[in-house]
């Protein structure tokens, strides 16, 4: 398990094909729900919605940047887009938690729009 995490930190992905890119974007939004839930239990849902993406960007993407042998602009953009995906997941969860179903669906729809756009750009 530690080897997998080490590999993920050292080899940040910038998927070349659109399908892989959009699947990774969606995966980031889903995986974010775990840390968001923990922070939401300790603090509250809206604090977790902005704190989780911030912590993700600083710690996870920051460690990828620090451990990468080549710090390039595409690597930075990859980290920013991954963080946007994390934020979409956190905001949708906070909206659902506060009984704003329509707004949560709109947030999900916006993330699908980003995935579709990214998929087309990568193709």
Instruction: State residue 18's pLDDT score.
Output: 66
Instruction: State residue 2's pLDDT score.
Output: 55
- What separation, in Å, do the N-terminal and C-terminal C-alpha atoms of the chain show? 33
Residue 41 lies in a domain: yes
Burial category of 52 from C-beta neighbours within 10 Å (exposed 0-12, middle 13-18, buried 19 and up)? buried
Q: Which two tokens stand for residue 121?
A: 């750009």
Residue 99 lies in a domain: yes
Instruction: State residue 44's pLDDT score.
Output: 93
Mean pLDDT by 10 residues, the chain (123 residues): 54 62 80 92 95 94 81 76 90 91 87 72 57
Instruction: State residue 120's pLDDT score.
Output: 62
Q: Which two tokens stand for residue 90?
A: 């956190």
The parent domain of residue 87 ranges over 16-122
Residue 7 lies in a domain: no
**CB-CB neighbours of 21 under 10 Å:** 21
Total domains in the fold of the chain: 1
Instruction: State residue 94's pLDDT score.
Output: 94
Task: Say if residues 18 and 122 touch (Cβ distance below 8 Å).
Answer: yes
Instruction: State residue 30's pLDDT score.
Output: 87
Residue 8 lies in a domain: no
Q: Which two tokens stand for residue 13?
A: 């992905």
Query: Phi/psi at 10 (nearest 5 deg)?
Result: -85, -20
Residue 30 lies in a domain: yes
Q: What is the pTM of this model?
A: 0.78
Dihedral of the CA atoms 7, 12, 14, 20 (nearest 10)? 40
d(CA 121, CA 116) in angstroms, rounded, equals 9
């Amino acid at each position: 398990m530690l080897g997998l995490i080490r590999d993920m930190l050292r080899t940040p992905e910038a998927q070349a094909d659109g399908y892989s890119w959009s699947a990774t974007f969606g995966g980031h939004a889903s995986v974010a729900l775990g840390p968001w839930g923990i922070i939401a239990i300790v603090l509250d849902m809206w604090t977790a919605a902005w704190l989780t993406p911030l912590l993700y960007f600083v710690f996870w993407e920051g460690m990828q940047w620090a451990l990468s042998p080549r710090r390039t602009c595409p690597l930075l953009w990859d980290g920013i887009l991954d963080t946007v995906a994390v934020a979409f997941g956190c905001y949708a969860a906070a909206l659902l938690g506060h009984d704003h179903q329509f707004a949560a669906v709109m947030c999900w729809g916006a993330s699908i729009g980003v995935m579709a756009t990214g998929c087309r750009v990568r193709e």
